[in-house]
Amino acid sequence: MELWFTEEWLPGLKLSVRVKSIVFSKKTRFQELAIYDTEQLGRILTLDNVIQTAEKDEYIYHESLVHVPLFAHPRPENVLIIGGGDGGSLRETVKHPEVKEAVLVDIDGDVIEASKAYLPGWNKGFSDHRARVIVGDGLAFVREAQNQYDVVIVDSTDPVGSGEGLFTDEFYTSIARVLRPGGLLAAQTENPLIMPEIVRGIYRRIAGAFPVAKLYTAPVPTYPGGWWSFTCASLGPDPEVPQRKPEGAWDLRYYSPEVHERAFVLSPGIKRDVTQEGR
């Protein structure tokens, strides 16, 4: 008997993948957590029946989300990651030798523990001596934070349920407060092609809290529609311009300075529908 995992992207639009085995499943305090081995996507982690990360393309997502803001900053010593309990963003962050501390705050400790146990491709950053992992609410953390950070990365779930608070005006304003002068924010901001209204709303809220906010994109085939947007906001540097380059053995599969700059080139349709440029 065949076992398939199916995610409904939108009404009338689904993604299905054949499952080889169920690696782990648990109902946590916040959500249904499962990890599967699949034939075409490799190992995947799902929350409430939604793929959060897949072995096939997670490196595109995580390298895009993390390295764009970190390389746009001249010296990112203190980094805060909100969400990202699978460890992928932390793994990429600690590749930067300039980083002295990387704080990860995720509301669901079970996701972190499952990732440590069952996602060896994602979880290498947890053992880094510069990593500090906190189980807690990201919105409350930035609201109460006293420390300041050079870069904040928001590796959140979709803007529903427990992740909804990470897409509010209050949250982005709080992040701007905890950033040092010249600091940057990068956040995943959904698919600009099939959900432009959602992306436009998120982009406007971020732009309202920062003097500079720019949308950039990357292909992520396992996410709804296969194309994903990120927003990088800044209190100083131009997010489009890398201030440093990866040198030595970085083990990068997607990011490069050239990809960094080109990721900010938006089609006329996205400019019109999301950022409202060209109207």
* pLDDT confidence of residue 136: 97
* pLDDT confidence of residue 273: 87
pLDDT at 275 over 80: yes
Range scoring the smallest mean pLDDT among 19-23, 85-89, 234-238, 248-252: 248-252
Contact by Cβ (8 Å): 184, 260: no
pLDDT at 48 over 60: yes
Matching residue, tokens 């396992």:
222
3-state secondary structure of 248: coil
Kindly report the number of other CB atoms within 10 A of residue 255's CB atom: 25
Full-model pTM: 0.96
Query: 212-219 and 149-155: which strand pairing?
Result: unpaired
Percent of the chain with pLDDT over 90: 90
Q: CA angle, corner 261, sides to 95 and 265, nearest 5? A: 135
Q: How far apart are CA 234 and CA 33, in angstroms?
A: 34
Query: 78-83 and 101-106: which strand pairing?
Result: parallel
pLDDT digits (tens, 9 = 90+) for 54-110: 999 999 999 999 999 999 999 999 999 999 999 999 999 999 999 999 999 999 999
* pLDDT confidence of residue 199: 96
Q: Please give the backbone phi and psi of residue 164, each rounded to the nearest 5 degrees, phi first.
A: -60, -35
Q: How far apart are CA 137 and CA 29, in angstroms?
A: 13
Q: From residue 235, give the alpha-carbon distance in Å to each of 14, 141, 189.
A: 39, 20, 19
* pLDDT confidence of residue 160: 79
Query: 78-83 and 179-188: which strand pairing?
Result: unpaired
Contact by Cβ (8 Å): 110, 28: yes
Percent of the chain with pLDDT over 70: 98
* pLDDT confidence of residue 248: 80
Which one from 86, 106, 110, 155 is the annotated catalytic residue?
155
Q: How far apart are CA 62 and CA 71, in angstroms?
A: 14
pLDDT at 197 over 90: yes
- 155 belongs to the catalytic site: yes
- Give the pLDDT band (50/70/90) at residue 278: low
Domains of the chain: 3-54 (2.30.140.10), 58-275 (3.40.50.150)
Query: 50-54 and 131-135: which strand pairing?
Result: unpaired
Enumerate long-range contacts of 17-20, CB under 8 Å, 24 or more apart. Answer: 17/41, 17/44
Q: How far apart are CA 73 and CA 209, in angstroms?
A: 19
Q: How far apart are CA 157 and CA 39, in angstroms?
A: 24
